[in-house]
A and B are shown apart, each in its own frame.
Chain A
Amino acid sequence: MTGKTNYRRFAPVTRRRFVAGASTLGLAAGLGVGPFIRRASANTEVKVLNWQGYGTDEPWALEAFKAATGLDVVHDYYNSESEMITKLQTNPGTYDVIVTNSAWNGRASELGVIQPIDSSLISNFADLNPSFRDSAVLSADGKLYGVSWVWGMTAIAYSTDVFKEAPTSVEILWDPSLAKRVCVRDDAIEAVSFAAIATGQDMNHPADHDKIKEKLLALKPNLATMWSSEDDWNKQFQAKAFDVSIYWSGSAFRSKNTFNLPVGYFVPTEGAIGWFDGLAIGTDAPNAEGAHKFIDYMVSQEFYSKWAEVGPPASANNKAMEGLPDSDPSKAFYLDQENVKRLQFMAPLSDKERQDFSDIWAEVKTEFAK
């Protein structure tokens, strides 16, 4: 993942982004942005809805795609997943290809804003990693609503200066010998997910909330600090503020490769958080045929091998990952199917679950501060 990508996807919303999001929302809710968007002329354009600067709008890629198919690619962007849903609802029949997170694809198909995809039109479909390609969250009623595109994980990073051997268990976070040496991200969903994994529960819909609260409270003696962004993490790690931390896979490889920090990374045997993004087609897409073509190009090895130069998330296309140079340490890690098997994937949360998790974390943090 690129630094920008991380910010966009997971960092707590920055103030500027919050303001931008809020005003966009106001506009979208009040007026509907549809009338201001140039309608795609049916067969010469593909209209894409995505985060800005997240792969689909790489200029070289659009040139290559145009050369191959004669289709122009036009972009519109969203700043949050809920904004994506709002745009799809207020402008039906406008978008051809939409990038949807695994936790949101189901919501979109449920609302009827995306349509089934014909996998026979995707020539690279067979090469996609079955763990993602056949995931239940990308389909509904036996129909395919999303083609898996890229993925990553949230697992545990450690200092190779302190640990001569890689830890294997999530319990390392609660290890009594690591008093004040552990760091987590200040994020309710991540914290609750890890406590659920550590207590052997379903990460997305844990049954026993009290157990989770108890497990998180037990983290107090070990917790040195919390991190908020990749940059923040790197600075604190460099200052030796902690030895072990819950961290993002893409960021861990950047900290190691780009910033030369002594970072090791492992997926606990108990599990870790996985996420992936899919590519979907809008309901009544003006150019559904072009949309299939664009998705096929996006999951191709040809596209990924060039995109890999800027440090994107892992491709869901196994062939594309195998095509990476061996010097890239992320290659072996992401291709290790043992790692992939241990992951629990982020699923859509109900508003109630979201609020419950947030309340648990707020309560635990209040105890931390005592």
Chain B
Amino acid sequence: MRKKTSSVFVMTVSVLILFILGASYLHLTNGVFDMSVMDVLKTLLRIEPNPKFDLVIFEFRLPRIVIAALVGVGLGIAGVVLQGITRNGLADPGILGINAGAGAAVVIFMFFFQLRLTSADMSSWFSILMMPIFGFVGGAMAAVLIFSFARKNGHLDMQRLILTGIAINSGFGALSLFLSLKMNAQDYENAAVWMAGSIYNANWIFVVTMLPWLILLGFYVYRKSYLLDYFQLEEDSITSLGIAVEKEKMKLLLASVGLVSACVSVSGSIGFIGLMAPHIAKQLVGIQHRYVMPVSALIGAGLLVLADFIGKTVFAPSELAVGIVVSIIGIPYFLYLLVKSKA
């Protein structure tokens, strides 16, 4: 049996990697500026470099694909962890209010500082990173709030966690809406696009800032993925087996907050990936988390790269925020899975 699961796993992973490569290829070659396969290959391999192609590929398309893939990986992993420790298939980074907290922080940032920022002459690194940093701080703050409300008698109650998450979510959502309505049109548009989840302004600085978080926390969580298998039992049984339930849940929760914040800070709030990817992964490779987690990460990456490609091309030259595309293509598939699994 175990052998069978692992061969299914290897096959699933291979197919998913091919899928991501395929989506990346479409993403690289298509767009406002079409290129042939040869052009792309030549540029990547540095044969007869052409500055125009260089610009399009290295400055615009490649960082965007990489960011899409990284954010997908992060949200896919965080979704698995959150659903695992809350033992609730509806838990996702969005429901925990981390997205909303980050969104509110970014709106506040835009509301109070944007004008001064653009007028002041700051180093490019600083101004590019200001928004993600605010997003990260906001996400972390939302997480701290949720934790402090969800704790009761030194015990982290998972039902309370989800309920407070939903409450904080709508609280921060209202705050963002209130502030954004008081903004000038230009700032409002920026804020709205950011909140809908978009990566059109991706750049290598974003990649460099989020990659260490993703690698560090991703590997940490993967090493702990076996614990999520045990968390499928009820709490008494887990305690009886000698697992320090509270401590381990806290560590995993903090790690996933870190992952989500890192993602949200560069991409804005992209919903549903963290919810869908784990479900799809479980349909594909079963319930052992050391298989589910990497598969969910790859599904997240594949979905986001594809969604970003669609968002960029369907209504070209204007773009659809990737978060919206994810919802449009993801939800029907998700519903289909639900219906199928019931039958």
A associates with B: no
